[in-house]
Amino acid sequence: MAEHNKIQKTIVVGAGPVGALAALYTAQRGHDVEVYELRNDLRDPSTTPLNFTKSINLALSERGINALKHSSRPSLLGKIFAETVPLAGRMIHGKNSAGQLTEQSQAYDIHGRTNYAADRGGLNKLLLDELETMPNIRFFFNHKLTGADFKNNKAWFTRGKSTPGKCDEEIEIDFDFLIGADGAHSAVRYHLMKYTRMDYQQEYIDTLWCEFHIDAKEVLPGEDPESRFRIDPNHLHIWPGKNFMFIAIASFDGSFTCTLFMPSAHFTHLSTTPDTLPEFFDTYFPGVTSLIPRQDLIASFTSNPHLPLISIKCSPFHYSSSAVILGDAAHAMVPFYGQGMNAGFEDVFVLFKFLDKYSPLIPTTPPLPFPTFPTLASFRAKALAEYSKQRTEDAHAINDLALQNYKEMRADVTSPLYLARKWLEEK
């Protein structure tokens, strides 16, 4: 078969949300798609969610929704929305001078548009289910990328779960195009660096995060089902503490996933005296101990991991026509702008905008009879170069905004200047 008519074999490394969406876009364009994922299938109930004790709740926003809309799978967005909770704004919790609890709602959008609280694992599962319905996609779970040759288009994976003292079996896979969506500690990015002069910068901020949980309320027969939420579900709840903060995002089942963000020294200090945690919460996050029983607060703090936050910038994102990195692999960011996954989804949309721009230029039969006939690979190389150039600037900007937004959330939301500006904006 002539090169330009050959069905392309694309391999996607990483079946997280971004890899899954990238696989969907690729399969829609008729490629043979193979998805390689380090871990077990997360739809298998025995799989522990990556890094988390349970899946976290994410804010799905316009750039992510737009990318999902353009996946050409008409029912997908409906299925996703069915399991989300609209987030109209943020709710700032505090105390007034009389010591009474206060709540202040700040709308996200003057036109009333909302973000959506989505369960990361649930969203990922829906994307994998959608992929499963496509005949040209194959999954390879428990496959870890260990090496790649981007000049000769070969990748190596170890298969199966590692057994101490035993070498895992290694397999070699050929591909036309490789999409690396293997997260912040990307192996694809590491190997890409050997083929392109990639600038790379990573920063761990001095803040760790720990997950907590507000249980759903039992709804008695005849009661409004909405009463399953102990606090307003349509807000991202923030307890700002200047140098730290506590947030809560609703889940569809009525519970809330909560996150404590705090400098590492505070975690160390409180870890030595966990019994003082409820008192610490009463001082800085008023009202939380009436939502989370004191013992549960201590148990979550002592048993859930205290996890780091990394911010990564690199450039370029691709090598020639053979590989590109997307999502956290290309631009892991701190979570304070709620845009990590959304920006990763947008990467997929923008990448395919460039790939599609060049694909209509590829003539179909009969092939032109001269030897310099441009190949599919040369068109893809152009598309990837344009993608990298445009996307790097945008990715760096959103990384910076995410870092800045931490200060806004933990401190500025209560400053009189900020509130006056917000009030004027809403007029």
Cβ(13)–Cβ(187) under 8 Å? Answer: yes
**Is 291 or 398 the residue whose CB approaches ligand FAD more closely?**
398
Q: Beta 32-36 vs 137-140: how paired, if at all?
A: parallel
Q: Among the candidate windows 32-40, 85-93, 194-202, 227-235, which touches ligand FAD by CB under 6 A?
A: 32-40
Q: Among the candidate windows 37-45, 275-283, 314-322, 378-386, which touches ligand FAD by CB under 6 A?
A: 37-45
User: Does 346 interact with ligand FAD (rule: CB under 6 A)?
Assistant: no
User: Does 180 interact with ligand FAD (rule: CB under 6 A)?
Assistant: no
Among 128, 344, 352, 409, binds ligand FAD (CB under 6 A): 344
Number of residues in contact with ligand FAD, rule: CB under 6 A?
34
Among 25, 36, 246, 349, binds ligand FAD (CB under 6 A): 36
Which tokens in the block code for residue 376? 């599919």
> Shortest distance, CB of residue 98 to ligand FAD, whole angstroms?
34
User: Does 38 interact with ligand FAD (rule: CB under 6 A)?
Assistant: yes
User: Does 114 interact with ligand FAD (rule: CB under 6 A)?
Assistant: no
Enumerate residues 6+ apart whose C-beta is below 8 A from 204: 308, 309, 310, 311
User: Does 183 interact with ligand FAD (rule: CB under 6 A)?
Assistant: yes
> Shortest distance, CB of residue 51 to ligand FAD, whole angstroms?
7
Task: State the CB neighbour count (10 A cutoff) for residue 290.
Answer: 10
**Is 245 or 355 the residue whose CB approaches ligand FAD more closely?**
245
User: Does 181 interact with ligand FAD (rule: CB under 6 A)?
Assistant: yes
Among 11, 33, 59, 250, binds ligand FAD (CB under 6 A): 59
User: Does 339 interact with ligand FAD (rule: CB under 6 A)?
Assistant: yes
- The b/e string for 368-392 (b: 16+ C-beta within 10 A; e otherwise) is eeeeeebebbebbbbbbebbbeebb
User: Does 50 interact with ligand FAD (rule: CB under 6 A)?
Assistant: yes
Question: What DSSP state is assigned to residue 275?
Answer: G
The residue written with tokens 């990195």 in the block is 325
Beta-carbon-side half-sphere exposure of residue 310 (alpha carbons within 13 Å): 14
Among 12, 19, 244, 350, binds ligand FAD (CB under 6 A): 19
CA distance 17 to 13: 12
Cβ(84)–Cβ(231) under 8 Å? Answer: no
**Is 288 or 333 the residue whose CB approaches ligand FAD more closely?**
333
**Is 319 or 406 the residue whose CB approaches ligand FAD more closely?**
406
Cβ(194)–Cβ(177) under 8 Å? Answer: no
**Is 17 or 254 the residue whose CB approaches ligand FAD more closely?**
17
Question: What DSSP state is assigned to residue 86?
Answer: E
> Shortest distance, CB of residue 217 to ligand FAD, whole angstroms?
24
Q: What x/- string results for residues 187 through 226 when contact with ligand FAD is judged by CB under 6 A?
A: x---------------------x-----------------
If you compute the radius of gyration of the chain from its CA atoms, what whole number of angstroms results? 23
**Is 71 or 259 the residue whose CB approaches ligand FAD more closely?**
259
Q: Among the candidate windows 2-10, 30-38, 102-110, 385-393, which touches ligand FAD by CB under 6 A?
A: 30-38
User: Does 89 interact with ligand FAD (rule: CB under 6 A)?
Assistant: no
Sheet of 57-60: strand order equals: 57-60, 115-119, 85-87
User: Does 348 interact with ligand FAD (rule: CB under 6 A)?
Assistant: no
> Shortest distance, CB of residue 295 to ligand FAD, whole angstroms?
24
User: Does 121 interact with ligand FAD (rule: CB under 6 A)?
Assistant: no
Q: Is 210 helix (H, G, I), strand (E, B) or coil?
A: strand
Among 12, 56, 178, 376, binds ligand FAD (CB under 6 A): 56
> Shortest distance, CB of residue 421 to ligand FAD, whole angstroms?
23
Name which of 191, 233, 176, 215 is nearest 381 in CA terms.
176
Q: Is 272 helix (H, G, I), strand (E, B) or coil?
A: helix
Sheet of 154-159: strand order equals: 143-149, 154-159, 169-174
Q: Is 22 helix (H, G, I), strand (E, B) or coil?
A: helix
User: Does 39 interact with ligand FAD (rule: CB under 6 A)?
Assistant: yes
Amino acid present at 217 = K
Burial of 35 (0-12, 13-18, 19+ CB in 10 A): buried
> Shortest distance, CB of residue 254 to ligand FAD, whole angstroms?
19
User: Does 37 interact with ligand FAD (rule: CB under 6 A)?
Assistant: yes
Which tokens in the block code for residue 326? 């997307």
Task: Give me the numbers of helices (H) and strands (E) for the chain, helices first please.
Answer: 12, 19
Question: What DSSP state is assigned to residue 41?
Answer: -
List of residues contacting ligand FAD (CB under 6 A): 13-19, 36-39, 50, 56, 58-59, 120, 144-145, 181-183, 187, 209, 259, 327-329, 335, 338-342, 344
